Amino acid sequence: MKKIIPLLSASIVASPIFAGSITEKESEKSIDLKTETKPNIVLIYADDIGYGDLSSYGAKRVETPNTDSLAANGIRFTNAHSAAATSTPSRYGLITGEYPWRRKGTGVAAGDAALIINPERITLPKVLQEAGYTTGAVGKWHLGMGNETGKQDWNGHVTPGPSEIGFDYSYIMAATGDRVPCVFMENQRVVNLDLNDPISVSYKENFEGEPTGKDNPELLTKLRPSHGHDQSIVNGISRIGYMKGGKSALWEDENIADSITVHAVRFIEKNSDKPFFLYFGTNDIHVPRYPHERFRGATEMGHRGDAIVQFDWSVGEIVKALKKAGIFENTLIIVTSDNGPVVDDGYQDGAVEKLMDHKPWGPFRGGKYSTFEAGTRVPFIVHWPERVESKVSHALVSQIDMTATMAALAGLERLPEIPEDSQNQLSAWLGMEPAGRDYVIGSAGSLTVLTRVWKYIEPNNGRTYNPLTNTELGNNPDDQLYNMTTDRGEYDNTAEENPEIVEIMKHILEREKEKGIGLDL
Ligand code: NG6
Ligand code: CA
């Protein structure tokens, strides 16, 4: 606010655009945390779980009791945002504290992409290491590995990776469930690899004699693609990209949740006597959705619904482990998602046919890939029995603030290297301050400015609809301005009636762009 006010006329500051606004000083107000109470931090980062996918957020066709219990006993946020509407840029923003649109190369990463975070820069895990935390990353990574795209030797130590950007321990899937290589990596080495059967990966061409989903559909015993995903076949499911070898190391999709959850639990058990930070990126509910047998049929919605139940099971296992170690009370758990929901994301898994009246996007328009609200408005739950009282918060919060906010939580003075994009919003995140941010910039093709009342989407000539994923993308060659406090939300473009607000929003965006856009990594 401090920096905006001189640029705006008094009448506009008084207008509802910044309704309920607070001063920067207040929002950055430090919270007195004694070192001995330094909490453990567990971030449960779901993949593609939408605002309406959890029963605590209104879902009726699926029960998520473990997550709901965290929501009921902690803070359930209703206006929380990922940095982007897909995985890689959201994760980049979360871990660096810098808006992904400021950097080239932060779009959805291939499975053989080089590490997209410069090891020189400050990151969320490095901040926490500095504060004395042991840090671990378990589950989906999708931030690239190695120095050069396509040049990794998957049979050796792949570096740089999680350890170079601040994780003491890692047990990860290099990219996503639908991208090769389909193996787990522990501390940057493929787990269970037989060096007599080395792994080769290519995103350019197939390896001679290897079957693909396109040419050998008869080998697709578990899932068939609906669009894309017709290259190498692993575990009866075809993927994006080509791989060869590594048979003993290949994952089975039905066991991914078990495998990563077990490693997350082990990390908790091993580190329970000192402060730790666990980044737990679930594979659920990204495609290919192929939950373990014991979850199949848990809902009437097929694999997508059952994957939500499997996700909730993982949450429950983490909670159990924390309780068993006697550290549940002093652990801050955050549950959120990397982007909004998608129903058909490229496999024929029955999600479309069995959706019924379930609304993964909640009351919002759009979904994954969209600049409309459901692209980035995600569940966000903060649970910390020692410090946080049960409530619902309507504060505007963003994952971009994770780095600065966790630095404050860990008792560090604001480090100058933390990007300005990342604000210390600790008071809002702990439910002590009701407003949160003044605005947040979103990115999914077009940039957006969201305040607590208005949402502005900058003009964009991109297509308006993706028929394959059935997503309204939110692109429009005209200015779009929506009043998010009305029921009509993103269905009523009010830009023409509110030229002065459009001007302010454009001004905010210009000012943000001046700080850097499209820079090299
Ligand atoms: C898309 C994939 C989609 C998903 C997405 C990334 C196709 C046709 N679609 O390109 O399936 O993998 O990328 O999702 O290949 S994310 O949640 O990791 O960003
Ligand atoms: Ca995702």
Q: Tell me, what's the pLDDT at 33?
A: 56
Q: Which helix (H) or strand (E) holds 89?
A: helix 87-96
Q: Single out the residue of 421, 333, 409 nearest to residue 121, CA to CA.
A: 421
Specify the pairing of strand 200-202 against strand 169-173: unpaired
SS3 (DSSP) at 393: strand
Residue from 345, 369, 470 to probe ligand 1 pocket by mutation (most atoms less than 8 Å from CB): 345
- Express the helix, strand and coil content of the chain in percent, nearest 5 each: 25, 20, 55
Tell me if 131 CB under 6 Å of ligand 1.
no
Question: Does the global pTM surpass 0.75?
Answer: yes
Tell me if 344 CB under 6 Å of ligand 1.
no
Q: Tell me, what's the pLDDT at 259?
A: 98
Tell me if 107 CB under 6 Å of ligand 1.
no
SS3 (DSSP) at 91: helix
Q: Tell me, what's the pLDDT at 253?
A: 98
Residue from 141, 178, 226 to probe ligand 1 pocket by mutation (most atoms less than 8 Å from CB): 178
**Which ligand 1 atom lies nearest to the CA of residue 87?**
19
110 CA distance to ligand 1 middle (Å):
10
Tell me if 48 CB under 6 Å of ligand 1.
yes
SS3 (DSSP) at 227: coil
Q: Tell me, what's the pLDDT at 17?
A: 52
For helices 302-324 and 65-73, the axis angle rounded to 10 degrees is 60
179 CA distance to ligand 1 middle (Å):
9
484 CA distance to ligand 2 middle (Å):
24
CA-CA distance, 86 to 32, in Å (whole number)?
A: 35
Q: Single out the residue of 96, 98, 97, 82 nearest to residue 47, CA to CA.
A: 82
289 CA distance to ligand 1 middle (Å):
13
Question: Residues 138, 267: contact at Cβ < 8 Å?
Answer: yes
Tell me if 227 CB under 6 Å of ligand 1.
yes
Nearest CA residue ID for atom 16, ligand 1: 87
Nearest CA residue ID for atom 17, ligand 1: 87
What topology does CATH give the domain 5-25+439-513?
Arylsulfatase, C-terminal domain (3.30.1120)
Contacts of 497 (CB under 8 A, 6+ apart): none
CA-CA distance, 492 to 6, in Å (whole number)?
A: 30
CA-CA distance, 8 to 11, in Å (whole number)?
A: 8
Q: Which CATH class is domain 38-192+251-429?
A: alpha beta
**Which ligand 1 atom lies nearest to the CA of residue 140?**
18
Question: Residues 443, 432: contact at Cβ < 8 Å?
Answer: no
203 CA distance to ligand 1 middle (Å):
14
Nearest CA residue ID for atom 10, ligand 1: 108
Tell me if 286 CB under 6 Å of ligand 1.
yes
463 CA distance to ligand 1 middle (Å):
18
Provide the residue type at 387 as one letter: R
Closest ligand to Cα 176: 1
Domain boundaries defined on the chain: 5-25+439-513, 38-192+251-429, 200-244
Nearest CA residue ID for atom 11, ligand 1: 345
SS3 (DSSP) at 113: coil
pLDDT per position in the chain (521 positions), as tens?
A: 333 333 344 344 444 455 544 334 344 444 555 545 699 999 999 999 999 999 999 999 999 999 999 999 999 999 999 999 999 999 999 999 999 999 999 999 999 999 999 999 999 999 999 999 999 999 999 999 999 999 999 999 999 999 999 999 999 999 999 999 999 999 999 999 999 999 999 999 999 999 999 999 999 999 999 999 999 999 999 999 999 999 999 999 999 999 999 999 999 999 999 999 999 999 999 999 999 999 999 999 999 999 999 999 999 999 999 999 999 999 999 999 999 999 999 999 999 999 999 999 999 999 999 999 999 999 999 999 999 999 999 999 999 999 999 999 999 988 889 999 999 999 999 999 999 999 999 999 899 999 999 999 999 999 999 999 999 999 999 999 999 999 999 999 999 999 999 999 999 999 999 999 999 99
26 CA distance to ligand 1 middle (Å):
40
Cα-based torsion angle of the residue sequence 88, 513, 380, 445 in order, rounded to the nearest 10 degrees: -50
**Which ligand 1 atom lies nearest to the CA of residue 339?**
17
Tell me if 346 CB under 6 Å of ligand 1.
yes
Neighbours of 348 (CB within 10 A): 14
Residues, beta carbon < 5 Å, ion ligand 2: 47-48, 87, 338-339
Alpha helices in 423-498 (DSSP H): 426-429
Question: Residues 210, 160: contact at Cβ < 8 Å?
Answer: no
Q: Which helix (H) or strand (E) holds 234?
A: strand 233-234
Residue 430, class by beta-carbon neighbours within 10 Å (0-12 exposed, 13-18 middle, 19+ buried)? buried
Nearest CA residue ID for atom 12, ligand 1: 178
Q: Tell me, what's the pLDDT at 413?
A: 84
